[in-house]
Structure 1
Amino acid sequence: MKNAEVLAPANSPSAEARWAPVLAVALSTFTVVSAEMMPVGLLTPMSDSLSVTDGVTGLSLTITGLIGAAVSPFAPALIGLRDRKGVLVGHMLLLALGNAVTAVAPNFPVLVAGRILLGLALGVVWGLVPGLAPRLVDGPRIALASTMVFSGVSIASVLGVPLGTYLAALLDWRAAFWALALLGLVCATVLARTLPALPVHERGRTDGIAGALRQKGITAGLAVTTLVVLGHFTGYTYVRPVLEADAGLGTGVIAACLLVYGLAGVAGNFTLGPLSGRRPRAAMVTALAGVTLAVGLLPVLTGSVVTVLLVLVVWGASYGGVSVSTQTWIRTAAPARIEASGALWAGVFNASIALGSLAGGLVIDHAGNRAVLLTAALTTAAGLLVALAARPRPV
């Protein structure tokens, strides 16, 4: 169909009242984001082990993001009429394999192979996740279900990256990726046991992307998503070198700082998530303003651990609301194109991660730590201006 998708309701008599499937999807988003972002907390030991620069190691994020971005928009069309439950389970198994390959990588090329597998899995999972909440719960609960699903993104910062950093400090950076491989297997099992059947009655069409892009609310939301995610990952991918060199912090303190950042992200997700259900524009503007402020202030507030923590709290709380607020904006702009627009959003999100980590690597290798944060702040500020000028629906 050209004007609307035909997604069958979840094949379960109690689907509207059951939250186990929503929690299973949240666990999967947690695992996917933890795997994608893990090099952020392990940048220095990975670089030393593989005998490459921080900028080159940061390309592991770029590679994964680019693969995910290329796959996500076309995931519904590529999958066709296959039940979404089986697809999700299969690609969480692929994610586990990608992390295992990364864990045994003796050099950067093998690491790249593992990250490519991860990118393929990530692209399909993210291509489907944005459209799941409306299929698992009823209308009044969709905002909360979306908040819970995207809480996996914030909680990944709390438990994923910081715990991976601690595990690397205790054992080795490879141990963090072995843990992620095991967690991928757990996710596949939980999804298989809890998700209802998720059939599709109409084959996905590639022209659904063009139809979505013709709607101004969607294009504005995608532009904002691009700028804020691009800016965030330009700076956040290289936050460890900044905290080491500019703030003079050790590994344990950096892990604690990332934990505080993540906790603030969870708080931001559960604060801005419900707000985005009622006022998506207000939620998005609040998130972007906080990210811009924090990234802009960090270069001049590295004099003490206290000021660093305060900035990271603002940064974490603000960015914690970015995923749910931008996705809610997209869904509000085109409620009849949930899967197509959600897949497109996921592709833009992952492309922005890739380009942000790439841009940050180029800047930090050639202009230094302060320049990378200034570049990040200017990019997110541009996104804020777009959000202030646009609305998810025509006035």
Structure 2
Amino acid sequence: MPDIECAQPVRATHRKEHWAAVWSLALGSFASVTTEFLPVGVLPDVARSFGISDGQAGLMMTSPALFAAVAAPGVMIAAGRIDRRRVLIALSVLLLAACLIAAFSRNFAVLLVSRAMVGASLGAFWSLGMAVVGRLVAPAHVHRAAGTIFGGAALAMIVGLPFGTFLASLFSWRGAFIGAGVLASAALIAQIVVLPSLPAQTALRLSGFAAFARRREAQLSLALTLLVFTTHFGAYTYLMPLLIQAGVSGETGTWVLLAYGFCALVANYAAGNYVGRALVPAMLGNIVLLAVVLALLPALDHARVTVLAGVMVWGIAWGALPLCLNVWHRRGPDGETEAAAALFTLATQVAIALGSVLGGVVVDHQSVGADFRYCALIGFVAAALVLRARKRQQRAASAK
């Protein structure tokens, strides 16, 4: 999730219109995240439908992540000086088209094409939406507005994914994608109605990316983001196979996803109250907790109650981390806002692609449990990186 532009708000006659625009972007983030992670809940069903393995079906997560990584900087550059309102609406149209193509796909190749379209939409939408949010409200309320858009993504975890899984249990996995299309339509209509004109402030160029990427703080932030997101999504993509292995499926699996999402939402909300005061301890503690849970979950797959408890703790650990990473990212020196946002999105999406594809290889050639343990190891590496950065900061502070 990208950085935030703290610029002067767009001129408008009513402040309420600005907040309506923020809520339309939050609805867009809800629809985008729901659609991106919808395969997590229907992965085994899609695999059976097309006669492929769970690992191959995991490409449904890899494809959008790869295209999102390219779209985040690519669309920002291609947009030039086009009004950002027009670009955001076009991206929502693309998301709607992707949902419909997925719902009516007749082979797995067409489904992957639709997933690539999802990636192109969400990568640019996240980067651009979070970059312009500071232009929609007064400077004092920028973080609240950004939190609203973050909340759309968090809500997708607690409502969107379980709802998609529920629709799949009623109408098949195709019905889940139709449901995602309904969400995309609602977001599109809202943005057409309430988004104000957002003229481009500058035309983003490659030099802006290079200038930001050369900073040591940016390199650390992006490396940490890559490791943490790989840890999470390398395992999260294959959560349903683990639950099925533990004897949890169907309606019960939907409730497990709901419990996970609720815990993640609560953790995300709570993190907003302490992350500014204790960023490093919050970051370190949640990364370690995430790694420990992933390491232990495979050993608990013989007992459904303990798996449920483990998944809920997983939700608590992960729920705070995107906000922690975003705050860490914004602590670096000021630079090209849109470039910083795009590179952050690029790092998250590359990590999702890397985690899902490597996880698929491990799942197919070893086991789901092995995948979770490898992801836990990556998490411990991320924790070590945070510790190293903390010691470097302490030495720099004592030297002054």
TM category, shorter: over 0.9
Alpha-carbon contact 2:8-2:139 (below 8 Å) kept: no
Give the match for residue 205 of structure 1. Answer: 205
- Kindly provide the amino acid, as one letter, of the partner of residue 259 in structure 1: L
C-alpha deviation, 1:282, in angstroms: 3.7
Q: Deviations over 1:120-163 (max 9, x none)?
A: 11221122133233222333323322222112222111111111
Give the match for residue 77 of structure 2. Answer: 77
Give the match for residue 251 of structure 2. Answer: 252
User: In 2, distance between residues paired with 1:322 and 1:71?
Assistant: 24
Give the match for residue 98 of structure 1. Answer: 98
User: Which runs of structure 2 are paired with 1:1-395 in the superposition (5 Å)?
Assistant: 9-15=9-15, 18-245=18-245, 247-390=246-389, 395=397
Secondary structure, in 3 states, of the residue corresponding to 2:336?
Answer: helix
Alpha-carbon contact 1:143-1:277 (below 8 Å) kept: no
Alpha-carbon contact 2:8-2:138 (below 8 Å) kept: no
User: In 2, distance between residues paired with 1:371 and 1:208?
Assistant: 41
User: In 1, distance between residues paired with 2:290 and 2:133?
Assistant: 26
Alpha-carbon contact 2:212-2:335 (below 8 Å) kept: no
User: In 1, distance between residues paired with 2:306 and 2:312?
Assistant: 10
User: In 2, distance between residues paired with 1:384 and 1:29?
Assistant: 28
Q: Deviations over 1:23-78 (max 9, x none)?
A: 22111111111111111100111111111111111101101110110111233222
C-alpha deviation, 1:279, in angstroms: 4.2
Alpha-carbon contact 1:12-1:197 (below 8 Å) kept: no
Alpha-carbon contact 1:327-1:342 (below 8 Å) kept: no
User: In 2, distance between residues paired with 1:242 and 1:98?
Assistant: 28
Distance 1:42 1:215, change over 3 A: same
> Is 33-42 or 17-26 further displaced after alignment?
17-26
Q: Deviations over 1:168-206 (max 9, x none)?
A: 111111001011112111101111222222222221111
> Is 198-207 or 384-393 further displaced after alignment?
384-393
Distance 1:168 1:17, change over 3 A: closer
> Is 30-39 or 111-120 further displaced after alignment?
111-120
Q: CA RMSD in A?
A: 2.1
Count of matched residue pairs? 390
Secondary structure, in 3 states, of the residue corresponding to 1:197?
Answer: coil
User: In 2, distance between residues paired with 1:324 and 1:310?
Assistant: 23
C-alpha deviation, 1:270, in angstroms: 0.9
> Is 274-283 or 156-165 further displaced after alignment?
274-283
Distance 1:201 1:55, change over 3 A: same
Alpha-carbon contact 2:103-2:177 (below 8 Å) kept: yes
Secondary structure, in 3 states, of the residue corresponding to 1:201?
Answer: coil
- Kindly provide the amino acid, as one letter, of the partner of residue 365 in structure 2: H
C-alpha deviation, 1:20, in angstroms: 2.2
Alpha-carbon contact 2:69-2:349 (below 8 Å) kept: yes
User: In 2, distance between residues paired with 1:29 and 1:72?
Assistant: 15
- Kindly provide the amino acid, as one letter, of the partner of residue 164 in structure 1: G
> Is 231-240 or 114-123 further displaced after alignment?
114-123
Alpha-carbon contact 1:15-1:196 (below 8 Å) kept: no
Alpha-carbon contact 1:55-1:362 (below 8 Å) kept: yes
Q: % of aligned pairs identical? A: 32
Alpha-carbon contact 1:130-1:343 (below 8 Å) kept: no
Alpha-carbon contact 1:43-1:240 (below 8 Å) kept: yes
Q: TM-score, normalised by structure 1?
A: 0.93
> Is 322-331 or 180-189 further displaced after alignment?
322-331
Q: Deviations over 1:316-358 (max 9, x none)?
A: 1221222222122212213343221111000110111011100
> Is 39-48 or 200-209 further displaced after alignment?
200-209
C-alpha deviation, 1:18, in angstroms: 4.4
C-alpha deviation, 1:243, in angstroms: 0.9
Q: TM-score, normalised by structure 2?
A: 0.92
> Is 54-63 or 199-208 further displaced after alignment?
199-208
User: In 2, distance between residues paired with 1:6 and 1:37?
Assistant: 29
User: In 1, distance between residues paired with 2:114 and 2:50?
Assistant: 14
5+ residue gaps, structure 2: none
> Is 64-73 or 275-284 further displaced after alignment?
275-284
Secondary structure, in 3 states, of the residue corresponding to 2:58?
Answer: helix
User: In 1, distance between residues paired with 2:97 and 2:173?
Assistant: 17
Distance 1:318 1:335, change over 3 A: farther
User: In 2, distance between residues paired with 1:6 and 1:360?
Assistant: 38
- Kindly provide the amino acid, as one letter, of the partner of residue 332 in structure 1: R
Q: Deviations over 1:262-292 (max 9, x none)?
A: 0011111111134334444344323322321
Secondary structure, in 3 states, of the residue corresponding to 2:275?
Answer: helix
> Is 120-129 or 368-377 further displaced after alignment?
120-129
- Kindly provide the amino acid, as one letter, of the partner of residue 247 in structure 2: G
- Kindly provide the amino acid, as one letter, of the partner of residue 31 in structure 1: A
